[in-house]
Amino acid sequence: MNLCQMDKRKKGSTKELRVMVVGSSGPSQFQLTNAIFGREAFSKDVTSISASMKNKGELAGRPVAVVNGPNIYDKDLSHAKRRMELRRSMCLCIPGPHAFLIAFDMEKISPNDMKTPRLLKKRFGANCLKHCMVLFAYEGNLDRAALENRVKKTDWYLRELIEKYGGRFHVFKKNWRDRSQEKELLRKIELMVASLGGGHFSSRTFQKAEDSVKKEERRLRKQRGEEIERMWNEMEQQYMAEEMGFQKDTYIAHVGAEIQAKAELDNGWLRTSLARGLGTGLVVGAVMGTLFGSIEGPGGMVLYGFIGGAVGASAGGTAQVAINHMENRVNPPDRLNFNSVFINRFFAASHP
């Protein structure tokens, strides 16, 4: 490898790697996230989460953003909630992940685990499997060669599982403090990404997620335009010309990061999903009320019709409260405004 190639490789390694970690059931996906970062992003007691989230850190020196969502077979989530969290996980990983890492416990492979490729194709599209790698969580003292031999030759069900994902797999230790395999994991991920042209996975749904996040960002920037301009005016009075540019860039970076984080978590696409979920529940409730009313006769129809109306009003109110709550999360009250907090901290050193 010549110096030019080495320089290109070094520059490329600084690019943030976007990874979507998917779990079937249990704690494996959270153990994997901890193993990637070499820290406890999730406590050892976490076996499920109800909301998608993103963490950032490094894997073997390369910046990595990892998105976790609810387990595929989490029985505590309604269909509407599951749908919304799927959308949220996409918004957190725009414009698309470089890799899907599918986490399993090596000692607890279930019949449901064997079905995950079908569910992933349904969620993300048929081509997503090309961007997938199986990650087996393991706790023991066998060396890497013995573990890989077990996957490829000894345990037929493990071999059958990885074949559904193109044979790509890696075994990681549940103890996140063990960093002996981090370089190998990064090498395998980068190799898979390079074999696909070096880009990220994308689809019409991910494009929709990106469009929705960008639209929300524009709305939030416009909403805060006056605050930003006022902040700049204050900076012009506080700093000399040569330092003002740096301070403005720093401030804009802070504001931009906050706006992006808010837009990824709450945007029109997600709010529409919430409203539709609540609306579906309302329709089902109305239908069931009618059915029960018809069984009970005309009197029952009046009675259950009255109850259905009350339930409908309650559900409608719940929908509005939920949407207003999400608006407040995007648009916090003045007393929680980021600028006021940031300005006080930002200028604290300037005042005697």
Task: Mark which of 202, 229, 257 sits at the end of a domain.
Answer: 202
User: Does residue 265 share a domain with residue 136?
Assistant: no
**Same domain, yes or no, for 53 and 195?**
yes
**CATH code where residue 66 lies:** 3.40.50.300
Identify the weakest region by mean pLDDT among 117-121, 216-220, 243-247, 344-348: 344-348
> Within this chain, do residues 197 and 75 fall inside the same structural domain, yes or no?
yes
Q: Are residues 181 and 305 in the same domain?
A: no
Of residues 117 and 288, more confidently modeled: 117
By mean pLDDT, which of 117-121, 151-155, 254-258, 282-286 is the weakest? 282-286
CB 4 within 8 A of CB 21: no
Question: Residue 208: inside a domain, yes or no?
Answer: no
Q: Are residues 249 and 310 in the same domain?
A: yes
Q: Across residues 158-186, what is the average pLDDT?
A: 94
Mean pLDDT of 65-71: 97
75-81 contacts at long range (C-beta below 8 A, 24 or more positions apart): 76/48, 76/50, 77/50, 78/277, 79/277, 80/273, 80/274, 80/276, 80/277, 80/278, 80/280, 80/281, 81/50, 81/277
- Residue 102 within a domain: yes
Is 209 a member of any domain? no
- Residue 335: which pLDDT band, with cuts at 50, 70 and 90? very low
Q: Is the peptide bond before 117 cis (omega within 30 degrees of 0)?
A: no
Q: 254 and 146, same structural domain?
A: no
pTM summary value: 0.75
The mean per-residue pLDDT over the stretch 199-225 comes to 95
**308 and 182 in a common domain:** no
pLDDT at 298 over 80: no
Look at the chain and report how many structural domains it folds into: 2
Are both 250 and 334 inside the same structural domain? yes
In a domain, 257, yes or no: yes
Q: So what's the pLDDT on residue 47? A: 95
State the pLDDT at residue 243: 78
Q: Which residue has the tokens 């000894």?
A: 154
pLDDT bracket for residue 88 (50, 70, 90): very high
Please report which confidence band the pLDDT of residue 299 belongs to, taking 50, 70 and 90 as the band edges. Answer: very low
Instruction: State the average pLDDT over residues 211-238.
Output: 89
Residue where one domain finishes, among candidates 178, 202, 226: 202
- pLDDT tens track for 11-38: 446 799 999 999 999 999 999 999 999 9
pLDDT at 273: 75
Give percent of the chain with pLDDT exceeding 70: 74
Q: pLDDT higher for 219 or 340? A: 219
Residue 38 resides in a domain: yes
pLDDT band at 349 (very low <50, low <70, confident <90, very high): very low
Say whether both 178 and 259 belong to one domain.
no
Residue 94: give the domain boundaries: 3-202
* 165 and 16 in a common domain: yes
Q: Which residues are 55's β-sheet partners?
A: 66
Highest-scoring range by mean pLDDT, 249-253, 304-308, 339-343? 249-253
Q: What is the band of 118 on the pLDDT scale with cuts at 50, 70, 90?
A: very high
CA 338 distance to own-chain centroid:
23
Q: What is the mean pLDDT of the chain?
A: 80
The answer on pLDDT for 98 being more than 90 is: yes
Asked if 157 contacts 106 with a C-beta cutoff of 8 angstroms, the reply is no
- DSSP E strands: which ranges in the chain? 17-23, 53-59, 62-68, 99-105, 132-138, 169-173
Q: Are residues 37 and 90 in the same domain?
A: yes
The verdict on residue 207 lying in a domain is: no
Per-residue pLDDT of 251-281, as tens digits, reads 888 999 999 999 999 999 999 876 765 554 4
30 and 154, same structural domain? yes
Of 149, 175, 202, which residue constitutes the final position of a domain?
202
pLDDT at residue 333 in the model = 36
φ/ψ of residue 137, rounded to 5: -80, 135
